[in-house]
Structure 1
Amino acid sequence: MKPSIDLRSDTVTQPSTAMRQFMAQAEVGDAVIDIDPTTERLERLTAEMLGKEAAIFMPSGSMTNQIAIRLHCQPGDEFICEENCHVYNYEQAAFAQLSGVVAKTLPGIQGVLSADQFEGTIRPINDHLVRTRLVCLENTHNRGSGKVQPFDTVQQITSWAHENGLTTHLDGARLFNAAVATGISVDKWSAMFDSVSVCFSKGLGAPVGSALAGPAEFIQKAKRARKLFGGGMRQSGIIAAGALFALQNNVERLAEDHEKATKLADAIREIDGLSLDVDPIDTNIVIFSIAPELGTAAQWQQSLAQRGVAVLATAPQKIRLVTHLDVSTSQVEAAIEVIKETSPAMA
């Protein structure tokens, strides 16, 4: 039985009928040798929304993050990040493989760092040492249950970085979730960083793509690096149109996903043997721990799938649920009932 309620990730969303029609009608050109007009429209809108001079469309958020790191650093340089962030954990240490850069990790609380943790982290100028060049933050934080980085804290960290001659990059794969949850616009979040990556294929519901935004000269260099990494696309307007539609139609509705996640969290909080990793929930990600006597996360994942609910086991005793535009409120309510029924079944 294929699960009918898919809570594994917000990347599983399918383009809506309206989005498919918009994509089918997209004006296209060769974006490598010339200009693809739809891709150009997307890049202009993204830059405008983020308050940056320019933006560039790429196939994935991993590519936008890695190109940003490559451009901010040189081989033998070091960047500072939180130990559970996506750039460090889920991108195959591409910064080392592709760009000769190393990472210094700091332990966060639910993915959140404090400004005082950065004191003393910049290496002295010495022929024996790597050079500290960059600070990377992630907002919202995936492994932190979609935690929104506190705005004031981000401001303190990025100010410290700039005052000490470091550059800053934001992995904003779910930045629009942070903006909707806090009411603080994406351009205000973006203004604190030298470069920003945003993803269109998560909560925004586009099938493919991310963008990197920053100063025009930086983005021109990113275009060259994109070609090196194999990210040059020809008639990319077909997929850029999905992202363009998402920006124009699917941002404010992210609040609905946050409400659904809160509903899930409220139910899980009341089930004996289950505990929320982060409480309350900020956005659209719910991670809960399972008491050992109720079985393992892998067992729960299998049991829930057999009952029509797809979830993701992220650790031996942890399950992740992610709400998105393809999961209705009624489906969330149905998933809650299945989770309640599963709990005693695993005992």
Structure 2
Amino acid sequence: MKSYSALILCLVFGFSLGCAPKFKNGQFPEEPVNLREINSPYDDINSDIPFITHQVPLVFSTNRSNAQTRDFNLTVAFIDFNWDKSEGLLTFNSSNTLFDPKFDSFRDMVRRTESSSNEKGPYSFIESSSGQILLYSREENGVYSIHVEPEKVDFKGRIAPKFRIMGNSGSEMYPSFYGKEFLKGAETNSKGRPELLLFTSDQEGHFDIYEADIPSSQSVLQFLLTMETKTLRKLSLNTTANEHMPFVYGDILVFSSDRPGGYGGYDLYYSQKTGSGWSEPVNFGPKINSEFDEYRPVVSDAIDFSNRLMIFSSNRPGGMGGFDLYFVGIPKF
């Protein structure tokens, strides 16, 4: 009875009676953890985080569905991250939020991207003039182009499901956006306005990261739809190796690279926006990288967590098979 009364007092009077939780802020682990709840024996790669509270609606690419062709399609799964403030323990599990009617339109949007070709590199955000947008890359005749869902109509009344930025000779993949006040997926809405488009292309024989200014007079979709030649800059952090799969969150750019000096295969790196461009990339180190391949990092803040969440894919041993999705905590640079 005494403990029950104490619990009631804590619920009523809270912190004033010394009932504050022992571990107030959550902490994502410093070493990668396999997302076994959603991985498969096949390849699960290229994720995107539309927004995050403690529930993560994770859009990713997988070849589990078609047993014969093994082409990659986008799918969506929900993961619950739960922080026990009394014990300081982090647990995660697959969530039933996916079946909540309020997510029907988002789930249907992801399903409409499915085709007999490969779909990779999803990126979703909310634009005030266009609503929720999902960009991704689809392979056609060995070349990837950036597509949009829902399909949009250009200024001449034509349906424009895909965009070519540099031409037709090389792949264009992994669109991401940066802006001084832009924060992708803050709660359920993006904040601020995208000012730069970042993407990768192998038009010169290997993948480089490019950026292009988005005019203040245009929305993202207007910028992509216009037939005007876009002024592109190759980021100074590029090397003669592959710089690939970029993702921007706030002022941090994370990407994969097989440049020399890593731990093997593709490693994960980060760079920060400065007044003169992007800083010299820093390897995330041996706790996160391995001698195998680490692909497509994505980053988000999480409510009541002191560090940031990063999700990526890797074909390191110990997984479910092929490429698996992993999560890890990184500092708030």
Q: Does the TM-score normalized on the shorter chain lie above 0.5?
A: no
So what's the TM-score if we normalise by structure 2?
A: 0.27
- Between Structure 1 and Structure 2, the one with more strand by share is 2
- Between Structure 1 and Structure 2, the one with more helix by share is 1
Higher relative contact order (CA 8 A, sep 6+): 1
So what's the TM-score if we normalise by structure 1?
A: 0.26
